[in-house]
Amino acid sequence: MPVSLYDFLQKEIKKMVGSLGRHEKGNIYPLILNEIERYVITTVLEETNYNYLRASRVLGIGRSTLYRRIERLGVKGKEK
């Protein structure tokens, strides 16, 4: 039976929280969101053959927003 995304994330986030030291501050919320966003954007770009207009439409965001997020998240461009 395939594992749902929710179940997978729940398991992995529990491991991440469990690995934090008792007194360690962990700002994992933005870390998790950034990693998920980076993965989604990279996957959509690959599936659209790095057509930024198509990718932005698939993602439901403007092309300029896509460019800003690519820059902020450090998403790599198409390998040549």
What tens-digit pLDDT sequence spans the chain (80 residues)?
Answer: 788 989 988 998 888 888 877 666 677 888 889 989 999 999 999 999 999 999 999 999 999 999 999 999 999 887 65
Instruction: Say if 17 falls within a structural domain.
Output: no
Residue carrying the six token digits 């398991």: 11
> Among the residues of the chain, which ranges form H helices?
5-19, 28-47, 52-59, 63-73
Instruction: Say if 43 falls within a structural domain.
Output: yes
Q: Report d(CA 28, CA 45) in Å as an integer.
A: 26
Residue 49 is part of which domain span? 27-80
CATH of the domain at 45: 1.10.10.60
Instruction: Say if 11 falls within a structural domain.
Output: no
Instruction: Say if 45 falls within a structural domain.
Output: yes
The angle formed by the CA atoms of residues 12, 15 and 19, to the nearest 5 degrees, is 145
Instruction: Say if 14 falls within a structural domain.
Output: no
CA within 13 Å, CB half, 11: 6
What pTM did the predictor assign? 0.78
- Name the domain count of the chain: 1
| Burial state string for 51-74 with b = 16 or more CB within 10 A and e = fewer than 16 | eeeebbebbeeeeeebeebbeeee
Instruction: Say if 31 falls within a structural domain.
Output: yes
